[in-house]
Amino acid sequence: MLLQALAFAAAIAPTFADSDKVYQHVAAFSIDGLHSSDVEKYVAKRPASTIATLLKTAYEYTDCYTSAPSDSFPGVAAFISGADPRTTGIWYDDTWDRSFWDPYSISDKNCSGPPGAEVTYDESKDYDSTKLWSGGINPANLPQSMIGGKCTWTYPHQRIRVNTIYEIVEASGKQTAYTDKHPAYDMVRGPSGKGLSIIGYDQLHVDAFLDWISGTTPVNSEVQNKLTGIPTLFGGNFQAVSVGQKSYGYVAGSLDFTAELLRALDFVDASLGKVVAALKAKGIYDDTLIIVASKHGQAPIDPTKYGKISQHLLAPAVKVPVSFITTDDVGLVFLADARDTDAAVDNLNGQRDTLKIADIISGERLIYEGYGSYPSPKPYHSNANIHPGDPAKDPAVPNIIIKPELGIIYTTSTAKIAEHGGLSDDDRKVACFASASNLQKTVYDHKVYTKEFAPTILKALGLDPMALQGVVAESGKVIDGFRN
Ligand SMILES: *[C@@H]1O[C@H](CO)[C@@H](O)[C@H](O)[C@H]1NC(C)=O
């Protein structure tokens, strides 16, 4: 009996033995769209894959959530800053801000007239988005805001309100590199603008990763500091799975991958395999922590749940003046006058069936419940008059969030059979694991958040996780397995 108990204790002991290793490198990837359930299905199908192999020496988190809303922009912001939209101020890549003005290229004016403008950070900001290398962001296309009392053409890194892991690693004298869809991921640099040595937009992101591992600078990069070796922290995304989900998705009934989606998964897995092989060839695999966490999932997984409703039906249903509505499989409603909120909610309630609305979130619920993973005791903003998360006092927060039924997309596009950005589990419950040769396979099946990887990455590099302003503001923590 005693012996059995001892044997049992020995067997489970590694689960509680936190990893304290300091790594020389962290490679942090988002496989955009990859659900937690996809990992399970893929490993069953491809037991010899790179993902399956990485999981053999990994801490895997099977109930892990990205930000809400689950758009790429807040998803990345969470992963790099450790904080939710109310703290980062990053709610979506195309949204509204009551304190911004239109770009100079549109208005021909600098911050004049009443504030309130669409804030879009995508390829439309670039000099020439039709080219593979767009030339980067043309500042005249940027939305404008007052920063330090001065009208400023506002880059994405000036909109995120809290510092990022890339900034902290650079400030420690080490180098970082990042790659993503387009130059608006300049956000990763953080408020100082100094958070990256290199940012690249290679269409095949794996080429950028492989160049960095050999210490060279890929084409299509903006270089702040020339690489002197392999970056200490490098990251970025793989998009093929997300594209495969939007076009082909899953088989009705079995919810198995379609052949096309499986091909996309194989492509990403092979790309990860090249990264692992390069790390091994350089002799740094044992000194590298590889993190995979998706910035978003995709909804619906079950194709029979898919349905679309024109986004143009939302504003008329609100029936009070609206400044802007962001729509995907979610609706973020910015009212012209916050005092209309209750009336707008009543009006929307009257249209629940027509608009297939599952939930309408506003007021206290929006501030305290939905948009934080934890209660936020010390809201952070450099301006004390702004109360983060409160639409009455924070110009970036929508007045109302509409959550449609699972699978409903507010769009007129016929191209997509799935979308992300919303609040459903299909959108938010994503692939999450940390793999390194020293880790003993452990599965954590309780709820965690992708944002917990930000302080974890700093800790794994021997830096202070509490250097992240967003983690302090939200009383955040290092993810399980890496805690002291
Ligand atoms: C607006 O600001 C830009 C950049 O500072 C400047 O080049 C331009 O002359 C200004 N235009 C007006 C009309 O003030």
Confidence band of 51 (pLDDT split at 50, 70, 90): very high
Residue ID of nearest Cα to ligand 1 atom 3:
110
Q: Give me ligand 1 centre to Cα 93, in Å.
A: 25
Claim to verify: residue 200 and residue 281 sit in the same structural domain: yes
Mean pLDDT of 436-453: 96
> From ligand 1's centre to the CA of 136, what distance in Å?
20
What is the span of the domain harbouring residue 349? 304-410
Residue 48: the pLDDT is 98
Instruction: Tell how far the Cα of 17 is from the centroid of ligand 1, in angstroms.
Output: 58
Residue 15: what pLDDT? 46
Q: Give the Cα separation of 291 and 465 in Å (integer).
A: 16
How many structural domains are present in the chain?
Answer: 2
Verify that 50 and 197 share a domain, yes or no: yes
Confidence tier at 201 by pLDDT (50, 70, 90): low
- Asked if residue 11 has pLDDT above 60, the reply is no
**Res. 3: pLDDT tops 50:** no
Kindly give the number of the ligand 1 atom that is closest to the alpha carbon of 108: 13
Same domain assignment for residues 339 and 442: no
Residue nearest atom 1 in ligand 1 by C-alpha distance: 110
Of the candidates 376, 410, 444, which is a domain's last residue?
410
Residues 296, 314 within the same domain: no
Last residue of a domain, one of 369, 384, 410: 410
Residue 153 Cα to ligand 1 middle (Å) = 10
292 and 322 share one domain: no
In a domain, 211, yes or no: yes
Q: Give a yes or no: residue 291 inside a domain.
A: yes
Of the listed ranges 29-33, 172-176, 179-183, 422-426, the least confidently predicted one is 179-183
Atom of ligand 1 nearest to the CA of 104: 1
Asked if residue 134 is part of any domain, the answer here is no
Residues 357 and 459 in one domain: no
Whether residue 16 is predicted with pLDDT greater than 50 in this model: the reply is: no
Categorize the per-residue pLDDT at 279 as very low, low, confident or very high, splitting at 50, 70 and 90: very high
Q: Label each residue of the chain as H, E or C.
A: CHHHHHHHHHHHHHHHCCCCCCCCEEEEEEECCCEHHHHHHHHHHCCCCHHHHHHCCEEEEEEEECCCCCCHHHHHHHHHHCCCHHHHCCCCCEEEECCCECCHHHHCCCCCCCCCEEEECCHHHECCCCCCCCCCECHHHCCEEEECCEEEECCHHHHCCCCCHHHHHHHCCCCEEEECCCHHHHHHHCCCCCCCCEEECCCCHHHHHHHHHCCCCCCCEEECCCCCCCCCEEEEEECHHHHHHHHCCECCCCCCECHHHHHHHHHHHHHHHHHHHHHHHCCCHHHEEEEEECCCCCECCCHHHCEEECHHHHHHHHCCCEEEEEECCCEEEEECCHHHHHHHHHHHHCCCCCCCEEEEEEHHHHHHHHCCCCCCCCCCCCCCCCCCCCCCCCCCCCCEEEEECCCEEECCCCCCCCECCCCCHHHHEECEEEECCCCCCEEEEEEEEHHHHHHHHHHHCCCCHHHCHHHHHCCCCCCCCCCC
Look at residue 125 and tell me if it is in a domain. no
Residues 286 and 316 in one domain: no
Q: Read off the CATH number of the domain in which 36 is found.
A: 3.40.720.10
* pLDDT higher than 90, residue 483: no
- Same-domain pairing of 316 and 401: yes
pLDDT mean across residues, the chain: 91
- Residue 224 Cα to ligand 1 midpoint, Å, equals 26
CB of 110 closer than 6 A to ligand 1?
yes
What is the best residue among 104, 106, 109 to mutate for testing ligand 1's pocket, by most ligand atoms within 8 Å of CB? 104
Give nearest CA residue, ligand 1 atom 10: 110
Determine the residue of 101, 106, 109, 110 to mutate for testing ligand 1's pocket, defined as the one with the most ligand atoms within 8 A of the Cβ atom.
Answer: 110
- Is 480 inside a domain boundary? no
Same domain assignment for residues 276 and 351:
no
pTM (two decimals): 0.93
CB of 112 closer than 6 angstroms to any ligand 1 atom? no
In-domain check, residue 429: yes
Please check whether residue 32 lies inside any domain of the structure: yes
Q: Does 262 reside within a domain?
A: yes
Query: How far away, in angstroms, is 101 Cα from ligand 1 center?
Result: 14
The residue whose CA is least distant from atom 13 of ligand 1 is: 109
Q: Whose CA is nearest to atom 6 of ligand 1?
A: 110
Same domain, 225 and 332: no
Average pLDDT rounded to a whole number, residues 283-304: 98
Kindly state whether residues 34 and 182 are assigned to the same domain: yes
Do residues 437 and 369 share a domain?
no
Confidence category of residue 13, pLDDT binned at 50, 70, 90 = very low
Domain boundary among 366, 381, 410: 410
Which of the pair, 207 or 478, is modelled with greater confidence?
A: 478
How many whole angstroms from 103 Cα to the centroid of ligand 1? 11
Residues 374-389 pLDDT 10s = 455 555 677 777 777 8
Q: Ligand 1 pocket, 304 CB below 6 A?
A: no
What spacing in Å lies between the alpha carbon of 110 and ligand 1's midpoint? 6
156 pLDDT more than 90? yes
| Ligand 1 centroid to residue 139 C-alpha, Å | 11
Mean pLDDT of the region 97-113: 97
Per-residue model confidence (pLDDT) at position 10: 42
347 Cα to the center of ligand 1, angstroms: 43
Cβ of 105 less than 6 Å from ligand 1: no
